[in-house]
Amino acid sequence: MNTVKQSWMQKGYADEPLPEGIDLKAEIRRLCREKNAIILAHYYTEGEIQDLADYVGDSLGLARQAARTDADIIVMCGVHFMGETNAILCPDKKVLVPDLNATCSLAESCPADAFKAFVESHPDHQVISYVNTSAAVKALTDVVVTSGNARKIVDTFPPDAKLIFGPDRNLGNYINSVTGRNMLLWDGACHVHERFSVEKLLQMKREHPEAKVLVHPECRGAVVKLADVVGSTAALLQYAIDSPADTFLVVTESGILHEMQKSCPGKKFLPVPPDDSTCGCNECNYMRLCTLPKVYNALRYEWPTVEVPAEVARKAVRPIERMLELSK
């Protein structure tokens, strides 16, 4: 292996200087055409990434899009588990995540060996895993869910089914509360959604009594209680589009404001801040690792690819396909 590639591997992305004077966006589009590549982006990525993408969506939309694309290369602008999901669904395609450091705190909160021991200590339980998990955790799972279909999929189990839900305790608690279940929860959380401040949200509600409160179910229960609507990023966006209200307090990662503002130019979207900060935004540092220069270099060098060991992929594909089937 040459030393340049070795240094990329240490950094987790191809940090080659850009050719002087290039039109980055035009070059990215050219490479996509030449290589039959598609760019998928999550709503939490930077606005300029979303504007360039072929498809922008929530975790469910991204998985569906990957499953149906005929592109040879998928550039997944988001975090690593999203690339893994694509690689598992599309074993014949090259899946690129422009920066391999883009992990997910939820996925990190659930190491596969510890989760395996937890599952094995409850052999009479079926296992439901949130999509924000590693491929190795999905391989231990009966069905995968996203925030957009968790309730629907949990509802497909008989009322007396014994269920494990991991890794997000907040989403698990929320699904337990709306379905009347008592799923056994893994004790994980998203470092962004966990931080939203009840006090600051209450203050903003007092300042904007007419505003609707949009909350992602990865938030703590005390925050969810204050919501007008609880849903995935795509569901919150759709609610804002359909609602006659013109002001919204947004309690999820602030990247979604880009598409909300684009879809509803006449409406006002106010990000609710985290409790440990004086600034107004609550950003996922991992999502922000995806930048246009990294997308360009990923396409140029077709690296970094997301690799899932064949045996893990063989086991993980079933619960992901089951999810896609159940959420039709």
The residues that touch ligand 13P, with contacts defined as CB under 6 A, are 42, 58-59, 104, 132, 146-148, 218, 232-233
Q: Indicate the residue among 36 and 263 with the shorter CB distance to ligand 13P.
A: 263
Q: Indicate the residue among 132 and 176 with the shorter CB distance to ligand 13P.
A: 132
Q: Indicate the residue among 194 and 218 with the shorter CB distance to ligand 13P.
A: 218
Could you count the other beta carbons within 10 Å of the beta carbon of residue 317? 18
CB of 51 to ligand 13P, least distance (A): 18
Q: How far apart are CA 67 and CA 176, in angstroms?
A: 29
How is 228-278 classified by DSSP, letter by letter?
SEE--HHHHHHHHHH-S--EEEEES-TTHHHHHHHH-TTSEEEEPPBTT-S
Q: Indicate the residue among 84 and 218 with the shorter CB distance to ligand 13P.
A: 218
CB of 206 to ligand 13P, least distance (A): 28
CB of 300 to ligand 13P, least distance (A): 27
Q: How far apart are CA 30 and CA 35, in angstroms?
A: 9
How far is the CA of 95 from the CAs of 39, 55, 86, 177, 256, in angstroms? 10, 15, 7, 37, 24
Q: Indicate the residue among 235 and 299 with the shorter CB distance to ligand 13P.
A: 235
Q: Indicate the residue among 44 and 296 with the shorter CB distance to ligand 13P.
A: 44
CB of 117 to ligand 13P, least distance (A): 25
CB of 42 to ligand 13P, least distance (A): 6
Q: Indicate the residue among 99 and 297 with the shorter CB distance to ligand 13P.
A: 99
Phi, psi of 166 (to 5 degrees): -145, 165
CB of 69 to ligand 13P, least distance (A): 18
CB of 147 to ligand 13P, least distance (A): 4
Q: Determine the Cα angle at 100 with ends 9 and 135, to 5°.
A: 120
Contact predicate 215/224, CB 8 Å: yes
The dihedral region occupied by 9, where left means phi > 0, alpha psi between -120 and 50, and beta the remainder, is alpha
Q: Indicate the residue among 141 and 232 with the shorter CB distance to ligand 13P.
A: 232
Specify the DSSP class assigned to residue 78. S
Q: Which residues pair with 43 in a beta bridge?
A: none
CB of 4 to ligand 13P, least distance (A): 32
CB of 299 to ligand 13P, least distance (A): 23
Residue 55 C-alpha from the chain's centroid: 14
Structure tokens at 1: 């292996």
Q: How far apart are CA 221 and CA 308, in angstroms?
A: 34
Q: How far apart are CA 95 and CA 81, in angstroms?
A: 12
Q: 108: part of which helix (H) or strand (E)? A: helix 105-108
Which residues, 6 or more positions from 303, have their beta carbon under 8 angstroms from its beta carbon?
A: 5, 8, 14, 96
